[in-house]
């Protein structure tokens, strides 16, 4: 009885997640994350200070 009680919330969350994913337009989290990383890199490169040239 203990394993059913302890895994009830996990099973309930899984079932709800599958239902929501099938019936609603859920965005692709990996694609959103990759887009965010790309934008952050672009902003960093565009606002980065230029490297100083060493006068030897």
Residue-wise pLDDT tens digits, 11-42 = 999 999 999 989 998 888 899 999 999 999 99
Domain ranges of the chain: 2-47
Which residues have a Cβ under 8 Å from the Cβ of 20 and sit 6 or more positions away? 26
Secondary structure class of 27 (helix, strand, coil): coil
Strands (E), the chain: none
pLDDT value of residue 16 = 95
- What is the pLDDT confidence band of residue 55, given thresholds at 50, 70 and 90? low
pTM of the full structure: 0.49
Count how many Cα atoms sit within 13 Å of the Cα of residue 43 in the half-sphere of its side chain: 6
**Quick one: which of 53, 52, 35, 32 has its CA closest to 43?**
35
Q: Which of residues 20 and 6 earns the better pLDDT score?
A: 20
């Amino acid at each position: 009885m203990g394993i059913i009680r302890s895994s009830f919330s996990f099973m309930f969350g899984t079932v709800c997640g599958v239902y929501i994913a099938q019936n609603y337009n859920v965005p692709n989290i990996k694609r959103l994350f990759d887009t965010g990383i790309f934008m952050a890199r672009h902003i960093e490169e565009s606002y980065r200070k230029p490297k100083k040239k060493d006068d030897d």
